[in-house]
């Protein structure tokens, strides 16, 4: 699809600390890849986000550091904006080089006075439509000699009513995870002023009537069943199943957007941060249009056309924020549509139609990127910060590693040895070396017979076909937000190039260009230029910096990001060549060196109190950040339990007729028919040594055909990495088919 209006909404980072690599993998890199891909396909992309600058995460940081909230947000807005730009996230230029009708990007701030105006306007609309209710609630209040103040949840600490842990917050215990009413907390104290006396007082607030939208949200979720990922479907369903209740949209705090209401009774209250920051997706689009195009132009990215065509809305966020984007935000959008039509709560809400603001299409939420322990975990904060990472490494190395290791379906892990291994042996060995070889060999040709004279596609039809298939596959993966899979596909095109050169051995013909076979061999080398161009275009969404360097090395001009995605497989594009000396695309990384400098990166959080990311009310589970040995990846218990391990007894072992290394092993698995497993154990066991052993096998592995024989599972074996392999056996007799846990 091209020429579509695509709104890319990126979770708003809290401006109370620097971003770390977990944020990047979860929220900030995937939307940039998507935006670049959509633009290359000819779509009209508007990308919106900004710093979330209100709420208690900011005020707590400010009070802890003894500075003003404004100083906190000014500092981290600048640091984080710069880090995202340094990472190559395309927040600039604000206007697409093809013109504002193609969109652009805006990384704004919630402290923008025009964001205040839009939020206030929406607040009044929703209130006048009868979608708020007023309720009195109880809140802790700190009594002072002069005045006093209400204490939001993060400002109260006490003993958990359930597990008696110290340091439990006003509404939730981080230790055992329970939530409770404020008055249930034992020995409550003001966190900032523990000696002050505090008491519970009544305070009146507005609540958004989420319950009013229950049915229409269920309808919406049903419509998205075919689009959403399993984790998004599951969390949304869980929320809807619990039944929606009105949710407070105001609170007792002065750092935020003041209520747009007359009367002293509202002094000291502001609009709850979750309710206004989430509207940033909308305000940011309006402000982008006002500043960089025409004010009404935001409608192209927000409103369903009169003929009923919606823009495509993609929201990128971490898994802790899913219900905010599939339940709460859609409820606000439908409330605004309702109010815009002059309706009130006597008419049930409806799904958006022509002229209405559109709802989210896909929410490709990520799981978490974890961080290996070891040296890192000495730091209390246990993180690798983006700004300091980018001071030392090529941003494309991080983009590569996080893309190939993206926490799409389950949590993944960052650790230095794996980072170095993937950069050196995948990115450089496959991709970097291929293009460097093409450029170096090509530059060795004599001036009177430049490489372009060998360009002859008739020798390369096989390669062309394969590359076209890979292009289709990568496109389809990107359409489905499978970034890992897409990048692997692109890398396999580089592998194909290596194999092509290895088979063609063009270096042998460089000295004798008239030898037999030279024409074909040199045609393959010349095709290497076309394949490199293909790689520049297809790596661009993932690795924009190296793609641009390669683009220029190939003799192309302009911005590779403007090269149409499909032109990667245009084999008739005119042949170019750069006369400049080829330089390697990437630098090899040295693990020893990195580990010795690592302390300066690990947990280097100069002064921030809590850079933990919990955009818009999501809560970060601190339990996930525990010490673990380097190189470990966590899976949760449920994921582990999905693997069914069972005991089997080896009945017979025979050679696989079509595979030298494989045995065909018949196993008594407790069932009548038994099962067959193909195993690569020939180098380690004779059939006699295996028969009769009770082993452990994976029972629910998808059956695979291996050279004509279906293998139904996998036997577990230990591998010491030095040629030693031993089957996992059972200590004593037990019935075949027994479960292993
Ligand atoms: Zn507790």
Tell how far the Cα of 135 is from the centroid of ligand 1, in angstroms.
28
Whether 433 contacts 389, CB under 8 Å: no
Other CB atoms within 10 Å distance of the CB of residue 197:
12
Tokens of 451: 């490489």
Tell how far the Cα of 190 is from the centroid of ligand 1, in angstroms.
18
> How confident is the model over 386-409, as a mean pLDDT?
93
Tell how far the Cα of 622 is from the centroid of ligand 1, in angstroms.
14
Tell how far the Cα of 53 is from the centroid of ligand 1, in angstroms.
29
Tell how far the Cα of 175 is from the centroid of ligand 1, in angstroms.
5
The proportion of the chain whose per-residue pLDDT surpasses 70, expressed as a percent, equals 93
pLDDT for 187 equals: 92
Tell how far the Cα of 179 is from the centroid of ligand 1, in angstroms.
9
pLDDT for 381 equals: 57
Q: Chain centroid to CA 534: how far?
A: 25
Alpha carbons 657 and 668: distance in angstroms, whole number: 22
Tell how far the Cα of 317 is from the centroid of ligand 1, in angstroms.
28
How do residues 665-690 score in pLDDT, each as one tens digit?
A: 999 888 877 898 989 888 888 899 99
pLDDT for 447 equals: 92
Tell how far the Cα of 239 is from the centroid of ligand 1, in angstroms.
23
Tell how far the Cα of 451 is from the centroid of ligand 1, in angstroms.
71
Termini Cα distance of the chain: 48
> How confident is the model over 609-628, as a mean pLDDT?
32
pLDDT for 491 equals: 97
Tell how far the Cα of 186 is from the centroid of ligand 1, in angstroms.
11
Three-class SS state of 541 = coil
DSSP state of 460: -
How do residues 127-154 score in pLDDT, each as one tens digit?
A: 999 999 999 988 899 998 877 889 887 7
> How confident is the model over 84-93, as a mean pLDDT?
97
Q: How confident is the model at residue 372 (pLDDT cuts 50, 70, 90)?
A: low
Q: Is 580 exposed, middle or buried (0-12, 13-18, 19+ CB in 10 A)?
A: exposed
Distances (CA, A) of 461 to 359, 549, 588: 45, 28, 34
Tell how far the Cα of 178 is from the centroid of ligand 1, in angstroms.
6
Which residue's structure tokens are 């652009």?
104
Q: How confident is the model at residue 379 (pLDDT cuts 50, 70, 90)?
A: very low
> How confident is the model over 274-301, as a mean pLDDT?
97
pLDDT for 57 equals: 84
Tell how far the Cα of 164 is from the centroid of ligand 1, in angstroms.
6
Nearest to 531 by CA among 435, 459, 443: 435
Which residue's structure tokens are 């075919």?
226
Tell how far the Cα of 183 is from the centroid of ligand 1, in angstroms.
15
pLDDT for 496 equals: 97
Q: Is the pLDDT of residue 402 over 50?
A: yes
Tell how far the Cα of 581 is from the centroid of ligand 1, in angstroms.
64
How do residues 162-202 score in pLDDT, each as one tens digit?
A: 999 998 888 888 888 788 887 889 999 998 888 899 999 99
Q: Is the pLDDT of residue 484 over 70?
A: yes
Q: Is the pLDDT of residue 622 over 60?
A: no
Tell how far the Cα of 331 is from the centroid of ligand 1, in angstroms.
32
Tell how far the Cα of 180 is from the centroid of ligand 1, in angstroms.
10
Tokens of 664: 């065909």
Alpha carbons 230 and 236: distance in angstroms, whole number: 10
How do residues 591-602 score in pLDDT, each as one tens digit?
A: 988 888 776 554
How do residues 697-739 score in pLDDT, each as one tens digit?
A: 998 888 887 878 888 888 998 887 767 888 999 988 888 888 8
Tell how far the Cα of 709 is from the centroid of ligand 1, in angstroms.
54
Tell how far the Cα of 159 is from the centroid of ligand 1, in angstroms.
8
Tell how far the Cα of 254 is from the centroid of ligand 1, in angstroms.
29
Other CB atoms within 10 Å distance of the CB of residue 448:
6
Tell how far the Cα of 167 is from the centroid of ligand 1, in angstroms.
9
pLDDT for 382 equals: 65
Tell how far the Cα of 199 is from the centroid of ligand 1, in angstroms.
22
Tell how far the Cα of 328 is from the centroid of ligand 1, in angstroms.
28
Tell how far the Cα of 326 is from the centroid of ligand 1, in angstroms.
29
Q: How confident is the model at residue 528 (pLDDT cuts 50, 70, 90)?
A: very high
Q: Is the pLDDT of residue 605 over 60?
A: no
How do residues 436-461 score in pLDDT, each as one tens digit?
A: 999 999 999 999 999 999 999 999 99
Q: Is the pLDDT of residue 391 over 60?
A: yes
Tell how far the Cα of 335 is from the centroid of ligand 1, in angstroms.
37
Tell how far the Cα of 640 is from the centroid of ligand 1, in angstroms.
27
Tokens of 110: 């919630």
Whether 158 contacts 188, CB under 8 Å: yes
Nearest to 454 by CA among 519, 392, 505, 508: 519
Tokens of 557: 């001009």
Which residue's structure tokens are 């709104």?
7
Tell how far the Cα of 170 is from the centroid of ligand 1, in angstroms.
12
The proportion of the chain whose per-residue pLDDT surpasses 90, expressed as a percent, equals 67
pLDDT for 607 equals: 39
pLDDT for 632 equals: 42
Tell how far the Cα of 285 is from the centroid of ligand 1, in angstroms.
42
């Amino acid at each position: 699809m091209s020429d579509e209006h695509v709104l890319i909404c990126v979770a708003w980072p809290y401006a109370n600390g620097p971003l770390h690599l977990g944020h990047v993998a979860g929220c900030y890199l995937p939307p940039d890849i998507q935006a670049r891909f959509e633009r290359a396909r000819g779509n009209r992309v508007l990308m919106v986000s900004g710093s979330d600058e209100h709420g208690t995460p900011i005020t707590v940081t400010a009070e802890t550091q003894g500075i003003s909230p404004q100083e906190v947000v000014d500092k981290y807005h600048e640091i984080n904006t710069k880090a995202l730009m340094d990472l190559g996230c395309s927040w600039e230029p604000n206007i697409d080089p093809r013109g504002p009708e193609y969109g652009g990007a805006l990384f704004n701030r919630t402290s923008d006075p025009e964001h205040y105006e839009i939020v206030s306007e929406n607040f009044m609309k929703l209130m006048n439509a009868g979608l708020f209710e007023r309720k009195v609630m109880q809140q802790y209040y700190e009594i002072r000699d002069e005045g006093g103040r209400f204490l939001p949840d993060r400002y109260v600490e006490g003993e958990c009513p359930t597990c008696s842990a110290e340091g439990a917050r006003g509404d939730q215990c981080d230790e055992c995870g329970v939530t409770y009413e404020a008055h249930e907390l034992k020995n409550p104290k003001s966190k900032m002023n523990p000696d002050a006396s505090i008491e519970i007082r009544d305070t009146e607030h507005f609540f958004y009537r989420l319950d009013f939208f229950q049915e229409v949200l269920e309808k919406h979720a049903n419509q998205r069943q075919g689009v959403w990922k399993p984790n998004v479907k599951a969390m949304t369903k869980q929320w809807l199943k619990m039944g929606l209740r009105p949710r407070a949209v105001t609170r007792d705090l002065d750092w935020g957007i003041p209520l747009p209401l007359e009367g002293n009774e509202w002094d000291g209250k502001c609009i709850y941060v979750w309710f206004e920051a989430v509207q940033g997706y909308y305000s940011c689009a309006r402000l982008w249009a006002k500043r960089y195009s025409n004010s009404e132009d935001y409608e192209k990215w927000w409103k369903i056309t009169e003929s009923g065509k919606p823009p495509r809305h993609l929201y990128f966020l971490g898994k802790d924020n899913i219900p905010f984007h599939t339940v709460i935000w859609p409820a606000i959008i439908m409330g605004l549509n309702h109010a815009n039509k002059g309706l009130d709560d006597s008419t049930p809400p409806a799904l958006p139609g022509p002229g209405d603001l559109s709802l989210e299409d896909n929410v490709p939420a990520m799981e978490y990127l974890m961080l290996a322990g070891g040296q890192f975990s000495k730091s209390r904060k246990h993180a690798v910060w983006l700004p300091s990472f980018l001071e030392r490494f090529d941003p494309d190395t991080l983009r590569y590693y996080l893309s190939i290791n993206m926490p799409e379906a389950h949590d993944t892990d960052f650790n230095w040895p794996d980072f170095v291994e993937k950069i050196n042996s995948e990115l450089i060995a496959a991709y970097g070396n291929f293009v460097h070889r093409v450029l170096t060999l090509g530059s060795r040709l004599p001036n009177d017979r430049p490489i372009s004279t060998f360009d002859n596609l008739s020798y390369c039809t096989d390669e062309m076909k394969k590359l076209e298939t890979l292009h289709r596959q990568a496109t389809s993966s990107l359409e489905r937000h499978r970034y890992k899979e897409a990048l692997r596909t692109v890398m396999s095109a580089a592998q194909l190039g290596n194999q092509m050169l290895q088979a063609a051995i063009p270096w042998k013909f460089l000295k004798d260009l008239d030898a037999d076979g030279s024409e074909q061999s040199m045609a393959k080398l010349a095709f290497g230029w076309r394949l490199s161009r293909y790689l520049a275009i297809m790596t661009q969404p993932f690795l924009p910096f190296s793609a641009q360097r390669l683009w220029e090395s190939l003799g192309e001009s302009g911005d590779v990001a403007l090269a149409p995605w499909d032109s990667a497989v245009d084999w008739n594009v005119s042949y170019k060549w750069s006369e400049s000396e080829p330089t390697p695309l990437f630098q090899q990384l040295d693990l020893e060196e990195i580990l010795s400098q690592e302390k300066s990166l690990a947990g280097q959080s100069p002064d921030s109190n809590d850079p933990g990311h919990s955009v818009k009310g999501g809560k970060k589970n601190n339990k996930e950040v525990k010490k673990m040995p380097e190189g470990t990846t966590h899976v949760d218990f449920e994921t582990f339990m999905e693997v069914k391990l069972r005991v089997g007894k080896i009945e017979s072992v025979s050679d696989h007729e079509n595979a030298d290394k494989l045995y065909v092993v018949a196993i008594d698995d407790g069932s009548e028919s038994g099962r067959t497993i193909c195993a690569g154990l020939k180098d380690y066991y004779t059939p006699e040594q295996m028969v009769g052993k009770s082993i452990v096998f994976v029972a629910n592995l998808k059956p695979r055909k291996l050279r004509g024989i279906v293998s139904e599972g996998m036997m577990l074996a230990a591998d010491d990495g030095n040629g030693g392999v031993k089957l996992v056996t059972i200590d004593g007799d037990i019935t075949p088919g027994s479960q292993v846990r």
